[in-house]
């Protein structure tokens, strides 16, 4: 496939943003309509309709209505300028990421001495038969192994393990850090308030939960929802490796610092991890805030919104590039 011109990428991104905003997917903030930006020949700045509805549970506290006049015009112009800047940044991110992917020969990924093969199963499973043709059956078998695991100190306090859910053939996979109370009770990842927010985020970028795959680094709930500990992550990581090897996603999104640190084997901050794309066995990896963190810190929603829009744009570019 020939590489799209910057003008076409920008126009495609602008059309997508207009479509998703017209669908009312403004969960991230509620600031009213955007003033129309100065038109350019290649793309017009998308606008957020005034009647876009933010879910009540996610809507920030109501602010006083902005008076009409120079101040309102200045605010609208600043917002439109931020959106134009984002479109340029998103276009650059997709273009540079595609260039990185095209420059990475598959054989070189597998042979790189500095990056251990994280898809290799533990020694006990290495001699097992190849993954069955049905990904669903393979995942069900692995989930059965996880359900009786006693490899770390979390198993005595769990109600049940939380393996993962979604489409076994998903192109995009989301990884959180660990189950919470609701997840421990229901046996499913990302339920409760944080789960509903994740569902809203996915829908805002035109994904349904059954289109993607969702799991966690840990398969058991840490007491009092504390952070995962290193020995717990080490015990669970072989299961995650095998899970990813079965699904073989085209794009991974880490939700939260602990998920990104574990998957990428790094101590870097989430801020720095969000700035660029990373690779896990040749698979592009992006990182953003955990939905539970957004519930505690609503001011991070704008950053998350930009992260997931980049993820959607990269997903679409990868899909087009493969056709």
DSSP 214-276: EEES-SSPPGGGPPPPHHHHHHHHHHHHHHHHHH--SEEEEESHHHHHHHHT----HHHHHTS
The tokens for 240 are 């995650």
Run means of pLDDT, 10 residues per run, the chain, 323 residues: 51 52 44 32 33 38 56 83 92 94 63 34 37 83 97 96 97 97 96 95 96 98 93 95 96 96 93 94 95 95 96 96 82
| Closest C-alpha among 199, 206, 157 to residue 178 | 157
- Per-residue pLDDT of 44-89, as tens digits, reads 333 333 333 334 433 444 444 545 678 888 888 888 888 999 999 9
Identify the pLDDT of residue 12.
55
pLDDT tens, position by position, 97-106: 999 998 887 6
Contacts of 111 (CB under 8 A, 6+ apart): none
Residues 23, 29, 31, 33, Cα dihedral to 10° = -20
Give tens-digit pLDDT for 104-119: 876 333 333 333 333 3
- For CA atoms 49, 51, 55, 58, the dihedral sign is positive
Give the pTM. Answer: 0.74
Three-class SS state of 149: coil
Where in the chain are the domains? Answer: 6-102, 120-322
Query: What is the pLDDT, as a whole number, of residue 125?
Result: 34
Domain 120-322 fold is: Uracil-DNA Glycosylase, subunit E (3.40.470)
């Amino acid at each position: 496939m020939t590489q799209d011109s910057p003008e076409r990428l920008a126009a495609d991104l602008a059309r997508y943003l207009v479509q998703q905003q017209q669908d009312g997917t403004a969960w991230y903030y509620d600031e009213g309509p955007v003033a129309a930006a100065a038109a350019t020949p290649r793309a017009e700045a998308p606008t957020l309709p005034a009647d876009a509805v933010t879910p009540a549970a996610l809507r920030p506290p109501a602010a006083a209505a902005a008076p009409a006049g120079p101040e309102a015009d200045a605010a609208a112009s600043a917002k439109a300028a931020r959106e134009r800047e984002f479109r340029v940044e998103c276009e650059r991110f997709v273009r540079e990421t595609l260039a990185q992917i095209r420059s990475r020969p598959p054989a070189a990924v597998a042979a790189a001495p500095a990056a251990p093969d994280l898809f290799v199963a533990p020694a006990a499973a290495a001699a097992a038969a190849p993954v069955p043709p049905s990904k669903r059956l393979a995942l069900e078998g692995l989930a059965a192994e996880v359900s009786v695991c006693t490899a770390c100190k979390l198993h005595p306090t769990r109600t049940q393990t939380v393996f993962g859910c979604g489409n076994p053939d998903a192109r995009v996979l989301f990884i959180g850090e660990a189950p919470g109370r609701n997840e421990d009770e229901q046996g499913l990842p990302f339920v409760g308030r944080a789960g509903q927010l994740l569902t809203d985020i996915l829908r805002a970028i035109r994904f349904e939960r059954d289109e993607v795959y969702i799991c966690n680094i840990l398969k058991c709930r840490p007491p009092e929802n504390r952070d995962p500990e290193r020995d717990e992550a080490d015990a669970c990581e072989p299961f995650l490796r095998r899970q990813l090897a079965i699904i073989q996603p085209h794009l991974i999104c880490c939700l939260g610092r602990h998920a990104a640190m574990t998957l990428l084997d790094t101590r870097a901050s989430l801020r720095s991890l969000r700035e660029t794309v990373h690779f896990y066995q040749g698979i592009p990896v992006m990182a953003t805030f955990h939905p539970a963190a957004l519930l505690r810190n609503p001011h991070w929603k704008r950053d998350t919104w930009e992260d997931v829009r980049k993820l959607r744009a990269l997903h679409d570019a990868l899909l087009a590039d493969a056709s």
